[in-house]
Amino acid sequence: MARALALHVHDVTQENDAALAGINRKDRHVAALALTQHADLVVTNDRRLRREINALSLPLRALSADEFVLRLVLDDRTQVDDVIDELVTKRQRRPVTRAALLDQLAVAVPRAIAELRSTA
């Protein structure tokens, strides 16, 4: 366990530590790594972490998985539809229909799937 965790632990610099003071200590490493890697977006379903990141005056925003996928759908619906179709095609051992796959995905990303279905 210690070896596995070591692969995912990253030092928080003094500079990041001060900038991230508004984020709870247990999640601070997530935002620190995002900043270190110059990311502009963190996708997390942790409501508190999203609220804390978005409250800081940093060039970093946090979205839920549903919000992120919804943005993808709104930005390029055709490409998302193509991915869905490819997933359906690849399911050979236990075939699935497009509607059934969308039902499964709707559990995790309901607004995004509702948007996909609205113009299907």
Within 10 A of 45 (CB to CB), how many other CB atoms are there?
A: 12
> What is the spatial distance between Cα 92 and Cα 110, in angstroms, rounded to a whole number?
25
Give the pLDDT of the chain (120 residues) as one tens digit per residue.
666 666 665 555 555 667 788 898 888 888 888 888 889 999 999 999 999 999 988 889 999 999 999 999 999 999 999 999 999 999 888 899 999 999 999 999 999 999 999 976
Measured distance CA(68)–CA(46) in Å, rounded: 14
- State the first-to-last Cα distance of the chain, in angstroms, to the nearest integer: 46
Domain boundaries, the chain: 2-63, 67-118
- The whole-number pLDDT of residue 9 equals 58
